[in-house]
Amino acid sequence: MFSKACEYGIKATIYIAVKSMRQERVSLKEIAEEVDSPVAFTAKILQSLAKNGIIDSHKGPTGGFQIEESKIDTIKLHDIVHAIDGDKIFSGCGLGLEQCDARQPCPVHDKFVGIRDNLKIMLQNTSLYELATGLEIGLTHLKR
Amino acid sequence: MFSKACEYGIKATIYIAVKSMRQERVSLKEIAEEVDSPVAFTAKILQSLAKNGIIDSHKGPTGGFQIEESKIDTIKLHDIVHAIDGDKIFSGCGLGLEQCDARQPCPVHDKFVGIRDNLKIMLQNTSLYELATGLEIGLTHLKR
DNA sequence: ATTATTTAGGATAAATTTGTCCGAAATAAG
DNA sequence: CTTATTTCGGACAAATTTATCCTAAATAAT
Ligand code: FES
Ligand code: FES
């Protein structure tokens, strides 16, 4: 469904959000540990999220990653997925035709579009805030 | 969403079904042309579908692939996807935890399970027959 | 029997995704 | 200013997926 990079990116962003709600910055190393992801690979993903304006990065001692608190509520899961995996998952053809086109649909088009749109709506309606809150109160987990 | 192998496999199966409804066998070469897929790669996928009992294969002149006509109605999209991509897509965790477990859910579990189940239900309810019919009457297309 | 045709299957290669390594750049603190 | 720390970014490597090649096995037709 999502790429490995996207899975790590989502988990990392949620963890950063939890810390940011406590006005804490968090280092790459700590993120990778909490998210159970390879450090250097996670660095690339965070870099890309920073370029997409989803998280902020700071170099040097006391450096690390954080998310502007006012943004935590407005950032949606959709934004994270889109930043890392692009929009193929939201608009691509289920059978891999160059583009999904209702005027020349593939055999699964009618059935597939509904699922795809549900996914998109779900991701657009899910805020980073609720994901971070669920984690903070111990309702959900990033690793096992 | 689906692997490339699965996309090819679905398209190939639909094409074979259309031909089988006319009591025609179809060769690998013709399938690959109609589905716009690499010949040798398609061969592997068809081999796997044959092993999974979804299609029948016959060697030699006049050989090729076909589907038992009585099966066309009972084979579901789910069977094809499951044969090629396994069941990770149906039961795997959206954030890549080793297994999805509602008692120790990842942050997206509640939101994700609904989408995943919808997909599963859709695939279980979509018969090869309806997909093949849509293609035969020119309503849908395998390439563009 | 021989031949031509078609799928089976193993080995290999290319492409993509995932993951690592290391020096450069920024920056906080002594 | 120097040093230690942390992210940045490019090059490289490993793993997986996608794709190719070639020989063997089956089989239909002559
Ligand atoms: S054309 Fe294939 S999903 Fe729309
Ligand atoms: S635990 Fe992640 S989707 Fe169920």
In angstroms, rounded to a whole number, what is the distance separating the alpha carbons of residues B110 and B117?
11
Which of A12, A27, A17, A32 is CA-nearest to residue A59? A27
AA identity, residue A71: K
What is the DSSP-derived secondary structure letter of residue B21? T
In angstroms, rounded to a whole number, what is the distance separating the alpha carbons of residues B41 and A50?
39
pTM for this structure? 0.96
Give me the mean pLDDT over the A110-118 stretch.
98
Band (pLDDT 50/70/90 cuts) for residue A121 is very high
Name the phi and psi angles at B126, rounded to 5: -100, 115
Closest CA–CA distance from residue A60 to any residue of chain B (Å): 31
Closest CA–CA distance from residue B61 to any residue of chain A (Å): 31
The reply to whether ligand 2 has any atom less than 6 angstroms from the CB of B121 is: no
AA identity, residue B78: H
Structure-token pair, residue B119: 């997909």
User: How do residues A53-87 score in pLDDT, each as one tens digit?
Assistant: 999 999 999 999 999 999 999 999 999 999 999 99
- Give residue A53's region: left, alpha or beta (phi > 0; psi -120 to 50): left
A4-136 classified as CATH 1.10.510.10 = no
To test the contact with chain B by mutation, choose from A119, A125, A133, A135 the residue with the greatest count of B C-beta atoms within 10 A, namely A119
In angstroms, rounded to a whole number, what is the distance separating the alpha carbons of residues A104 and B105?
40
The reply to whether ligand 1 has any atom less than 6 angstroms from the CB of A116 is: no
**What does each of the 144 residues of chain B score in pLDDT, given as a tens digit?**
999 999 999 999 999 999 999 999 999 999 999 999 999 999 999 999 999 999 999 999 999 999 999 999 999 999 999 999 999 999 999 999 999 999 999 999 999 999 999 999 999 999 999 999 999 999 999 999
Structure-token pair, residue B95: 């954030």
Facing residue for B131 by CB, picked from A4, A77, A108: A108
Judged on CB neighbours under 10 Å (0-12, 13-18, 19+), A30 is middle
Q: Which of A112, A115, A118, A119 to mutate to test the pocket of ligand 1 (most atoms within 8 A of CB)?
A: A112
What is the DSSP-derived secondary structure letter of residue B71? G
B104 contacts in chain A (CB < 8 Å):
141, 144
Contact B126 A111 (CB under 8 A): yes
How long is the CA B126 to C1' D25 vector, in angstroms?
36
